[in-house]
């Protein structure tokens, strides 16, 4: 029997913390014909995106672009800098830090997981003093790298990377600093060079507003030097040949041509708006979201306001309520996807994404959908959260560009 496709009216609300909605302008750019990746036109595109992306990472050093998801770029960061059996200090901020540690184990490294007990560590950012204390103990410098996640997508908690750098320096330790800002890049301020990061890992499908499929390693000279002696097996991920060929705008393999068109467009959009404006927009929407959550009388997963994420807000459910059941109601009734609780937080929380191509009304519609869903799912709320969010948005000036156009 013929099955008719059902197409719900309006756009699906993709309010997970990545992949984030892809703006029409980027979708159109990606629909250009795929060109010869060894031809003359391609080199110009390659050079443009390789130069432009450096501005987003705030680096003068090479940024390697892989046709892979963020997980691939994690592996690239480890395999280009480390050798089998190397000790690595990792910090448990949440589910993604846990997955990166699992990868380190699988690659034959010896990761040590620092963190606070239970879910406490999942509610606060990295504690740099713990890193400093551990590195001071390591007088033989057995630890070769410190790995931290800048924006823990599973919790909505950020970490102070400059403070981690200071902790490593205070301990006088030569370990490399590897940072995952897969969901932080182009949402929260990030300074690869100034913070002395050796490898920064990121991906396309979050603040850059692209579909999943490309990921990045921004590298330091120290990391490139370490790569010359690193013995973990690597072939596809090896930076050396890619960085060499990138000098002329090409790759040693077939790059992701249409996603690179998208990246070129995303760079124009983000740099056109101005990075500081992009960060301010994210901070403002995140604050409005938190005000709604507080008015509902629900708990925010992050307990330290100094490290609230501008990318997403983790909303804890009262005892006895399954967060995934609430998400299901919201999905079925209002055609909106929210992030599920991951790992230790499975069923205990959901995540509201407010990153990338998101504005005041996107957020207000999202909050309305969440509020209706909470009520339909029988979650007790203290009051409507919408007035709190609206009042905050009205009280705060809009982005300068919009003001100028008015
Ligand atoms: C912080 C963080 N690290 C790593 C990953 C893994 O990236 P991917 O799923 O693109 O492989 C994600 C994905 O959401 C993430 O948010």
Dump pLDDT digits (tens) for 224-249.
999 999 999 999 999 999 999 999 99
340 lines ligand 1 (CB under 6 A): no
Q: Which CATH number does 24-271 carry? A: 3.40.640.10
Query: Mutual orientation of helices 360-376 and 323-334 as an angle, nearest 10°?
Result: 120
Whether 31 contacts 383, CB under 8 Å: no
Q: What whole-number distance in Å separates Cα of residue 317 and Cα of residue 350?
A: 8
- Average the pLDDT over 305-333 and give the result: 98
301 C-alpha vs ligand 1 centroid, how far in Å? Answer: 19
pLDDT at 399: 61
**Range with the lowest mean pLDDT among 3-12, 101-110, 212-221, 388-397?**
3-12
How do residues 200-218 score in pLDDT, each as one tens digit? 999 999 999 999 999 999 9
Decide whether any atom of ligand 1 lies within 6 Å of the 149 Cβ: yes
Return d(Cα 300, Cα 155) in angstroms, integer.
9
Centre of ligand 1 from the C-alpha of residue 152, in Å: 9
Q: Which atom of ligand 1 is nearest to the CA of 184?
A: 1
Q: Per residue in 38-71, pLDDT tens?
A: 999 999 999 999 999 999 999 999 999 999 999 9
Closest ligand 1 atom number to CA of residue 203: 10
- Segment 372-401 mean pLDDT: 92
Question: What's the rounded Cα separation, in Å, for the pair 148 and 146?
Answer: 7
Cβ of residue 18 lying under 6 Å from some atom of ligand 1: yes
DSSP state of 258: H
**182 C-alpha vs ligand 1 centroid, how far in Å?**
6
* 143 and 173 Cβ atoms separated by less than 8 Å: yes
> Is the CB of 29 inside a 6 Å radius of any atom of ligand 1?
no
- Contacts (Cβ under 8 Å, ≥6 apart) of 200: 57, 59, 178, 179, 181, 190, 192, 216, 217, 218
pLDDT at 206: 98
Lowest average pLDDT, out of 43-57, 157-171, 273-287, 390-404, goes to 390-404
Euclidean distance between CA atoms 321 and 401, whole angstroms? 42
Binding-site residue ranges for substrate: 351
Q: Does 13-20+274-394 carry CATH code 3.90.1150.10? A: yes
Q: Is 106 exposed, middle or buried (0-12, 13-18, 19+ CB in 10 A)?
A: exposed
- Write down the pLDDT at residue 398: 72
Pocket test for ligand 1, best of 183, 185, 216, 312 (most atoms within 8 A of CB): 183
Domain coordinates in residue numbering, the chain = 13-20+274-394, 24-271
Overall pTM > 0.85:
yes
User: Distance between CA 134 and CA 111 in Å, rounded?
Assistant: 13
* Residue 241, number of CB atoms within 10 A of its CB: 12
pLDDT at 183 over 70: yes
| Distance (Å, whole) CA 194 – CA 113 | 26
In short, whether 71's Cβ falls inside 6 Å of ligand 1 is: yes
Determine the Cα–Cα distance for residues 219 and 212; give it in Å rounded to an integer.
Answer: 21
Identify the pLDDT of residue 405: 46
CA distances for 266 relative to 149, 196, 326, angstroms: 23, 26, 33
Compute, in angstroms, the gap from residue 75 CA to the centroid of ligand 1.
Answer: 12
Q: What is the distance between the alpha carbons of residues 148 and 267, in angstroms, rounded to a whole number? A: 26
Which helix (H) or strand (E) covers residue 352, if one does? strand 349-353
Question: 3: Cβ–Cβ under 8 A, 6 or more apart, which residues?
Answer: none
């Amino acid at each position: 029997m013929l099955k008719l496709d059902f197409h719900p009216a309006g756009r699906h609300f993709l309010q997970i913390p990545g992949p984030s909605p892809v703006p029409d302008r980027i979708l159109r750019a990606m629909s250009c014909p795929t060109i010869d990746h060894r031809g003359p036109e391609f080199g110009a595109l390659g050079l443009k995106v390789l130069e432009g992306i450096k501005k987003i990472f705030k680096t003068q050093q090479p940024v390697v672009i892989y046709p892979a998801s963020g997980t691939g770029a994690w592996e690239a960061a480890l395999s280009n800098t480390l050798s089998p059996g190397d000790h690595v200090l990792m910090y448990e901020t949440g589910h993604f830090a846990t997955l990166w540690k699992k990868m380190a184990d699988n690659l034959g490294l010896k990761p040590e997981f620092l963190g606070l007990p239970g879910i406490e560590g999942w509610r606060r950012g990295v504690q740099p003093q713990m890193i400093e204390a551990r590195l001071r103990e390591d007088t033989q410098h057995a630890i070769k790298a410190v790995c931290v996640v800048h924006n823990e997508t599973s919790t909505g908690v950020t970490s102070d990377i400059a403070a981690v750098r200071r902790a490593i320096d205070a301990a006088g330790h030569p370990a490399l600093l590897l940072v995952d800002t897969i969901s932080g890049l182009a949402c929260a301020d990030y300074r690869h060079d100034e913070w002395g990061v050796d490898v920064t890992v990121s991906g396309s499908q979050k603040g850059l507003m692209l579909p999943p499929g490309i990921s990045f390693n921004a590298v330091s000279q120290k990391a490139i030097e370490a790569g010359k002696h690193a013995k973990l097996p690597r072939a596809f991920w090896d930076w050396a040949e890619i960085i060499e060929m990138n000098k002329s705008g090409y790759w040693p393999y077939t790059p992701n041509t249409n996603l690179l068109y998208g990246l070129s467009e995303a760079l124009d959009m983000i740099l056109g708006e101005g990075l500081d404006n992009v960060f301010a927009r994210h901070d403002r929407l995140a604050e409005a979201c938190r005000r709604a959550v507080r008015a509902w009388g629900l708990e925010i997963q992050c307990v330290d306001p100094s490290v609230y994420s501008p990318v997403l807000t983790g909303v804890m459910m009262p005892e006895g309520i399954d967060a995934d059941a609430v998400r299901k109601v919201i999905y079925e009734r209002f055609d909106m996807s929210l992030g599920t609780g991951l790992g230790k937080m499975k069923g205990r929380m959901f995540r509201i994404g407010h990153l990338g191509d998101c504005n005041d009304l996107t957020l207000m519609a999202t909050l309305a959908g969440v509020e209706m869903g909470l009520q339909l799912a029988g979650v007790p709320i203290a009051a409507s959260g919408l007035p709190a969010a609206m009042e905050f948005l009205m009280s705060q000036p809009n982005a300068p560009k919009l003001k100028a156009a008015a």
